[in-house]
Amino acid sequence: MSLTLVPAACAFASGFAMRMVDPLMLPIAQQFGLGATTVALLTSAYALPYALAQPFLGPLGDRFGKARCMQVCVLVLALALTVGVFAPSFHWLLASRLVAGAFAGGVIPLLLADLGDAYDLQERQVVIGRLLVVIISGQMLGSAVSGIVNDLFGWRSALGLAAAAALFAAASAALNRPRRASGSAQASTSSSFAALYAHVFDNPKAPHLYAAVVCEGALVFAPFPYVGQLLIEHAGSAAGAAPTQTGLVLGAFGIGGIAYGFAVRRIVGAFGKRRLCAVGSAVVAAVFALLVVWPVWWLHGLTMVACGFGYYMLHNALQIEATELAPGARGSAVALFACGLFGGAALGPPLFGWLLHRVGFTVALAIVALGVAALAQWVIRRVVD
């Protein structure tokens, strides 16, 4: 699948919806009279069903066509996000995020699997790296714009932007119906879910790769919902300015990812997968260890640019391994990879909140930094060639 308007719009909408609630934690908590830890469940409410839906969506894409599955999923994503805009209570908002997350799971992973079908291994890392520009742009704007729009018009208007992006993607997909499945895709319709996953786990790398991506999601994204609290406690940010500043800091992570996407061909040629993992994880670990040091919010933003660049160095290497794990069941393999990533991303914030309550930001972030460094050694020894 070439990167035309439809897949780009769908990937952007999924990415935009993913991270746009992080800067809204404080205003939503004030609206409903809840604590920050409770409202942080909105992040997990998107990520966890996104993860749990993958074992079903991947094989369905292999059997019935990845484009058709994406078309249905982006439509339901748009409807769920629209419900969230008008949610009368926190429970309604939480439920809308659950549904949105489940169906967003049918967008990016199946798009990545289609790219795996379309490009050979040599070009795939570059193509997927460039696709990251679209996905990360959505995530970055979701974080940065939602904080600004919240200050101007309120948090419901920020949610409305995500719904509008998804509605545009759904309309684009509806007007461009997928072509009839190819012969190879039709041949896979006789394979059961069990047979497709058995093929994936025929590769001895599979258990190590999936365990690694769970840890990656849990470690890297665990502190994100607490950045607003971090800025208030350690950077002197006022409570009223924290949502905007939080959005810009988290958006800076995306800028780092976009920079990596544009430079991916040169970086891959210069480093190779093992050094990509080693250097990228070292940068991420250093940034997390130093976050409590910076006295003003914009220094957090500058270091988060480096964090985003380092993270996507590590993550892109893992993505390529996932697309090559089982060429005959690529949709299933990549979907299970996404399941692991978002399962980890869903578990990370509650665990970090528990840790934060007991030891504070300095120790909690140091633990995360050590975990990222240890993860890289595992990946280098067990996963990448």
Looking at every residue in the chain, the average pLDDT score rounds to: 84
Task: List Cβ neighbours of 115 (8 Å cut-off, separation of 6 or more).
Answer: 1, 124, 127, 128, 131, 323
Q: What are the pLDDT digits (tens) for 342-367?
A: 788 878 988 999 999 999 999 999 99
Largest CA distance in the chain: 61
Question: Residue 149: how many CB atoms within 10 A of its CB?
Answer: 23
Task: List Cβ neighbours of 63 (8 Å cut-off, separation of 6 or more).
Answer: 188, 189, 191
> Angle at the Cα of 290 (from 19 to 371), degrees rounded to 5?
70
H-assigned helices in the chain: 5-19, 25-32, 36-39, 41-64, 66-85, 90-104, 108-118, 121-153, 155-175, 183-187, 193-200, 206-221, 227-234, 242-290, 297-324, 330-382
Calculate what percentage of the chain has a pLDDT beyond 70.
Answer: 94
pLDDT band at 182 (very low <50, low <70, confident <90, very high): very low
- Three-state DSSP class for 296? coil
CB-based contact 304:249 (threshold 8 Å): yes
pLDDT band at 187 (very low <50, low <70, confident <90, very high): very low
Task: Give CA–CA dist 32/29, Å, rounded.
Answer: 5
Higher per-residue pLDDT: 293 or 176 = 293
Helix (H), strand (E) at residue 154: none
Instruction: Output the pTM of the full model.
Output: 0.74
Ranges 118-122, 165-169, 235-239, 275-279: which has the least confidence: 118-122
Task: Give CA–CA dist 10/286, Å, rounded.
Answer: 33
Residue 281 has pLDDT above 90, yes or no: yes
- Residue in this structure with the two tokens 């992570």, named with its chain if needed: 253
Single-letter amino acid code for the residue at 124: R
Ranges 69-73, 96-100, 101-105, 132-136: which has the least confidence: 132-136
List the domain boundaries for the chain. 5-176+193-382
Instruction: Identify the CATH assignment for 5-176+193-382 out of 3.30.70.1280, 3.40.50.2300, 1.20.1250.20, 3.30.1380.10.
Output: 1.20.1250.20
What's the pLDDT at 122? 67
Q: Which region, left, alpha or beta, applies to residue 276 given φ > 0 means left and ψ of -120 to 50 means alpha? A: alpha
Q: What are the pLDDT digits (tens) for 299-355?
A: 999 999 999 999 989 998 898 888 888 887 887 888 888 888 878 887 898 899 999
What's the pLDDT at 77? 94
Q: What are the pLDDT digits (tens) for 19-69?
A: 788 888 888 988 998 887 788 888 888 878 877 887 787 787 777 777 788
What's the pLDDT at 3? 52
Task: List Cβ neighbours of 198 (8 Å cut-off, separation of 6 or more).
Answer: none
CB-based contact 207:267 (threshold 8 Å): no
